[in-house]
Amino acid sequence: MSDAARPTKQEQEPAATEVTEVAPGVLRMQLPVMLPGLGHVNCYALCDDQGVAIVDPGLPGPDSAQALTARLADAGYEPRHVHTVVITHSHIDHFGGANAFARAGARVVTHRAFQNWWDPSPDVELDEHEPGAEPVEPVAPATTNGHDHRGDDSPAALTSPWSGERLRTPMEEEKIRAYQASDPDFFRAPDPTKRLADADVITLAGREWVAVFTPGHTPDHLCLLDPANGVLLSGDHVLPTITPHISGIGAGTDPLARFFVSLERMHDLPPVRTVLPAHGHPFTDLDGRVDAIRLHHEERLAVLREAMARLGPASVVDLSHELFKPRSWGGMAESETFAHLEHLRLAGDATRTEEAGLLIYAPA
């Protein structure tokens, strides 16, 4: 099937201009993004008598800012009415628009593990009883080539722990450097003014929301649950028609295992009637979607087991070509393959060696 004929996933749809009420006091505002596989990010406005709290205010830059200002105006608000910015996780299409509001005095709310690859780690210690509280360190390969996973000082210069080769971020390097030149704070994450731990309660839209820590897609992912109305702000943890990327870089020892634990937590929540994802449309069947995402990753693990058995010892790049179609080959595919291979290795289903600076995996 050609790219032109391939059905569009919900998350790939371009940002619509309409503002819609998707839960009591909660407005959905779609903002444009420039990332592969995504056409918009959902910014939610939680309205109260003091103004609005906004969740995931999109990318930095004029396109997103103008769209958000227009959406707020359609809802009867101005940027000065934004008193709180909630960031579900440390990806730039979710936190990039927060700095402007923070500079204007809005408080910034995140999980307490919130950080950015290019900012220092937060000076916090996670409670060992908090779900997914494993300290987050880059996954170190069995190599002595001395590569820094973050490369030089450019966000476009990450290097892979499976080969030491330079990786590109989803945006082209030229665009990244252009944005950096026009705005030195482009990649700087805002400083949170309120960091939530799992099960903390925060008042938004005139009612209580419960923090649900869901590491996996990122080590600092935060969902918010409104138990009174059965509403879940799911960020990128649970999306309606695509599965969130599980990165093998800087995400801890076994990010896929952490993601599985976070997925299972969704089954234990009080009844959820409305799921508000960061991309795609609101949906209702949380349990069914969680099970489908889990099955997707289990199937990928099975593909890798079969490929290793058939190919024998193989590199991460070669195995990523077994897992992904050619249109998806590259750094993100390799990173997710690496995360799945590490999960198999730590489960005793695969072995890892190093050959000429490359990590090689084989059946255990």
The sign of the CA dihedral 338, 343, 349, 353 is positive
Rounded CA separation 114/311 (Å):
40
CATH classification of 10-283, choosing from 3.60.15.10, 3.60.110.10, 2.40.340.10, 3.20.20.70? 3.60.15.10
Highest mean pLDDT among 142-151, 175-184, 198-207: 198-207
Q: What percent of the chain has pLDDT over 90?
A: 71
DSSP 8-state secondary structure symbol assigned to residue 14: P
pLDDT, tens only, 163-201: 988 776 555 455 656 766 766 666 677 899 999 999 999
Burial class (CB in 10 A: 0-12, 13-18, 19+), 328: middle
The CA–CA distances, whole Å, from 357 to 162, 166, 202, 239 equal: 8, 13, 48, 36
Q: Given the DSSP bridges, would you call strands 314-315 and 274-277 parallel, antiparallel or unpaired?
A: unpaired
Report whether 111 contacts 202 (CB < 8 A): no
Q: What is the pLDDT of residue 171?
A: 52
The CA–CA distances, whole Å, from 352 to 90, 140, 147, 254, 363 equal: 30, 12, 18, 14, 9
**What does the block give as tokens for 72?**
């707020």
pLDDT for residue 25 is more than 70: yes
Q: What is the pLDDT of residue 6?
A: 52
The residue among 2 and 305 whose pLDDT is bigger is 305
Q: Please tell me the chain's helix, strand, coil percentages from 3-state DSSP, rounded to the nearest 5.
A: 30, 20, 50
Flag the least confident range among 23-27, 72-76, 100-104: 100-104
- Where in the chain are the domains? 10-283
CA 339 and chain centroid, separation: 15
What is the secondary structure of 286-315 as a DSSP string?
Answer: HHHHHHHHHHHHHHHHHHHHHHHHHH-SEE
Predicted TM-score (pTM) of this structure: 0.88
**What does the block give as tokens for 312?**
């024998």
Rounded CA separation 73/353 (Å):
57
pLDDT for residue 72 is more than 90: yes
The residue among 158 and 149 whose pLDDT is bigger is 158
Q: How confident is the model at residue 299 (pLDDT cuts 50, 70, 90)?
A: very high
Q: What is the pLDDT of residue 167?
A: 72
pLDDT, tens only, 228-261: 999 999 999 999 999 999 999 878 899 999 999 9
Q: What is the pLDDT of residue 131?
A: 67
Q: How confident is the model at residue 150 (pLDDT cuts 50, 70, 90)?
A: very low
Mean pLDDT of 11-27: 97
Q: How many CA atoms lie within 13 A of 37 on its CB side?
A: 11
Rg (CA), the chain: 20
pLDDT for residue 321 is more than 90: yes
Q: What is the pLDDT of residue 197?
A: 97
pLDDT for residue 136 is more than 50: no
The CA–CA distances, whole Å, from 282 to 47, 202, 233, 260, 278 equal: 18, 22, 10, 22, 9
Q: In what order do the strands lie in the sheet with 350-355?
A: 314-315, 358-363, 350-355
